[in-house]
């Protein structure tokens, strides 16, 4: 992964290039709030916008995309299939609604939001994503919150290896085993909650490390994630913070400090455990 500017991309296992840094719009209200946030992001250089059907703001994201001056092919738009739409036919139906709400002709990346392993529907759901991918409706397909065993089941039973696995990843939850598995199988890790929803900002070790490089804790952590070959989508609705979060391409963390970061891992989730999460509504 080159780390020179916000334009840098990771190459997925099908050759599609995905921006290494993007904007997540989780819990942003639909309408003007998410329209403004998406517009700010595009104007300051972000090209990846990550939404989901359960966020209930795909319409606002779509409106912002139509209004912005950036050509559609320069943007990378991700959405995710929610739990109540798993299964082959329901997935196809849910995808059509997402596309209608986003007002797009194609999607850059579509993810299964949660595995729901006890329901045992993710294989049928994945086959629906394969159909949409083969039809050219989606440029890349992937999963979110999947453990190695579930990805391996997809590899064993389906035609296409997932291109992305979007998971919780931050200094307190580093998921080394999962990252190693995904790297070995050509699956790109992308981090949600990369700043642990702010709980890391008072960490003395992180403050000292960030100060060493003349950066904020957020900037240091985002840079660390990129150097760990993890794409990342920090959320912010504020233009100034978006600019700050993207100001991570003028320094490099040395190997000693990368190693020191391993000591911060607590195997501490701030989000749900995918083995247990079955909610239909957030």
Catalytic residue (one of 40, 46, 55, 122): 55
Question: Which of 98, 111, 82, 81 lies closest to 190, judged by CA?
Answer: 111
DSSP collapsed to 3 states, 57-68: CHHHHHHHHHHC
**Cα dihedral sign for 214, 48, 50, 69?**
positive
Secondary structure of residue 139 in the 3-state scheme: strand
Q: Give the list of residues 6+ apart from residue 257 with CB closer than 8 angstroms, or none.
A: 209, 212
Residues 6+ apart with CB under 8 A from 186: 13, 161
Which H or E run contains 133? helix 122-134
DSSP string for 229-282: T-EE--B-S-HHHHHHHT--SS----HHHHHHHHTT-----SS--TTT---S--
Q: What is the DSSP string of 35-82?
A: HHHHHHHHHHT--EEE--GGGT-HHHHHHHHHHSSS-GGG-EEEEEE-
Q: What is the CA radius of gyration of the chain?
A: 18
Taking residue 81's Cβ as centre, other Cβ atoms within 10 Å add up to 25
Q: Quick check: is 55 catalytic?
A: yes
DSSP class of 98: H
Residues annotated catalytic, as ranges: 55
């Amino acid at each position: 992964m080159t780390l020179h500017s916000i334009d840098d991309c990771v190459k997925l296992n099908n050759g599609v290039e995905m921006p290494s840094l993007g904007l997540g719009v989780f819990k942003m209200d639909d309408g003007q709030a998410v329209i403004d946030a998406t517009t700010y992001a595009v104007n300051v250089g972000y090209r990846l916008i990550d939404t989901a059907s359960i966020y209930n703001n795909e319409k606002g994201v779509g409106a912002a995309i139509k209004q912005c001056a950036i050509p559609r092919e320069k943007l990378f738009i991700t959405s995710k299939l929610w739990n109540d739409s798993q299964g082959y036919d329901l997935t196809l139906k849910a995808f059509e609604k997402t596309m209608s709400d986003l007002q797009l002709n194609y999607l850059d990346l579509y993810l299964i939001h949660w595995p729901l392993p006890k329901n045992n529907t993710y294989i049928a759901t994945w086959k629906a994503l394969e159909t949409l991918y083969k039809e050219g409706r989606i440029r890349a397909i992937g999963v979110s919150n999947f453990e190695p065993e579930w990805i391996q089941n997809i590899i064993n039973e389906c035609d296409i290896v997932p291109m992305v696995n979007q998971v919780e990843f931050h200094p307190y939850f580093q998921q080394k085993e999962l990252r190693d598995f995904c790297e070995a199988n050509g699956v790109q890790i992308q981090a949600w909650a990369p700043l642990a929803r702010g709980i890391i900002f008072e960490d003395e070790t992180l403050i000292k490390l960030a100060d060493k490089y003349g950066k904020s804790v957020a900037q240091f952590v985002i840079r660390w994630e990129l150097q760990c070959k993890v794409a990342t989508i920090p959320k912010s609705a504020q233009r100034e913070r978006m600019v700050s979060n993207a100001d991570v391409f003028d320094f490099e963390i040395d190997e000693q400090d990368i190693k020191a970061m391993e000591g911060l891992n607590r195997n501490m989730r701030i989000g749900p455990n995918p083995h247990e999460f079955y909610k239909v509504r957030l």
